[in-house]
Chain A
Amino acid sequence: GAVVSQHPSWVICKSGTSVKIECRSLDFQATTMFWYRQFPKQSLMLMATSNEGSKATYEQGVEKDKFLINHASLTLSTLTVTSAHPEDSSFYICTLAAPLAYEQYFGPGTRLTVT
């Protein structure tokens, strides 16, 4: 399967600042990527679908101005949490969609802590 990396693996930021999380496909052209959010011991919640070269599609209830997604190349999608608050503290996971394999490849996740 494809290898997906995320950077950073853990980030701590102060309330009111912005933080960018990178998701890279190391060996596969990533036309579509997904961003999920997961709270401790809870399920994954889809935040948005990231399509290369076009605007992301956000799920209902997700603030697009707060969670900025950019997918400018076939290997990189970024999620920027703007004006972060403690309630944004969570585990963020990106996945790469494999069109023909009907499967998604998961990144290792990024733990965000907002103080």
Chain B
Amino acid sequence: AQTVTQSQPEMSVQEAETVTLSCTYDTSENNYYLFWYKQPPSRQMILVIRQEAYKQQNATENRFSVNFQKAAKSFSLKISDSQLGDTAMYFCAFMKPWEYGNKLVFGAGTILRVKS
């Protein structure tokens, strides 16, 4: 079974600084998808970034970028120029399409607090 591990329960960062959230996963699959989701206090889940395992290039979305190390099974999220609105719980997630019915396997989450 696939597992996703987020080893940082809580983190804090000063506004405008950079923070990196860690995620490791365990799978024997070669083709899969990895995601970072943001859950703000409203609790609406928001997709931050998605990475296809067959792509070597790291995904980026504005201030958000990932460091995808397939051999090491590591998928960290870097948030640059942190903003107060980035305060949320962040989840790393794994998906193996089709074989598991597009199920998402989530990590435990990391609570990020951005301080002014």
- Residues of A near any B CB (own CB < 8 A): 1, 32, 34, 38, 41-44, 46, 49, 57, 91, 93, 95, 97, 99, 102-104, 106, 108-109
* A103–B46 CA distance with the chains assembled, in angstroms: 12
- Considering the complex, give the chain A residue whose CB is closest to the CB of B105: A46
- Considering the complex, give the chain A residue whose CB is closest to the CB of B103: A46
Asked if residues A91 and B43 are in contact (CB atoms below 8 Å), the reply is yes
- Residues of B near any A CB (own CB < 8 A): 33, 35, 42-45, 47, 50, 52, 89, 91, 95, 97, 101-104, 106-109, 111
Asked if residues A102 and B102 are in contact (CB atoms below 8 Å), the reply is yes
Asked if residues B45 and A43 are in contact (CB atoms below 8 Å), the reply is no
Contacts of B89 in A (CB 8 A): 41
Most A C-beta atoms less than 10 A away, residue of B52, B103, B109? B103
Query: When the two chains form the complex, which single residue of B33, B45, B102 contacts A32, counting CB atoms closer than 8 Å?
Result: B102
Asked if residues A106 and B103 are in contact (CB atoms below 8 Å), the reply is no
Instruction: Write the nearest CB–CB distance from A112 to chain B, whole angstroms.
Output: 13
Asked if residues A108 and B44 are in contact (CB atoms below 8 Å), the reply is yes
Asked if residues A104 and B109 are in contact (CB atoms below 8 Å), the reply is no
* A102–B31 CA distance with the chains assembled, in angstroms: 12
* A91–B95 CA distance with the chains assembled, in angstroms: 22
* A57–B102 CA distance with the chains assembled, in angstroms: 13
* A34–B105 CA distance with the chains assembled, in angstroms: 12
Asked if residues A103 and B50 are in contact (CB atoms below 8 Å), the reply is yes
Instruction: Write the nearest CB–CB distance from A53 to chain B, whole angstroms.
Output: 15
Question: Given known contacts A42-B108, A95-B104, what 18 new A-B pairs fall within 8 Å (CB)?
Answer: A1-B47, A34-B103, A41-B109, A41-B111, A43-B91, A43-B107, A43-B108, A43-B109, A44-B91, A44-B106, A46-B103, A46-B104, A97-B102, A102-B33, A102-B102, A104-B102, A106-B44, A109-B44
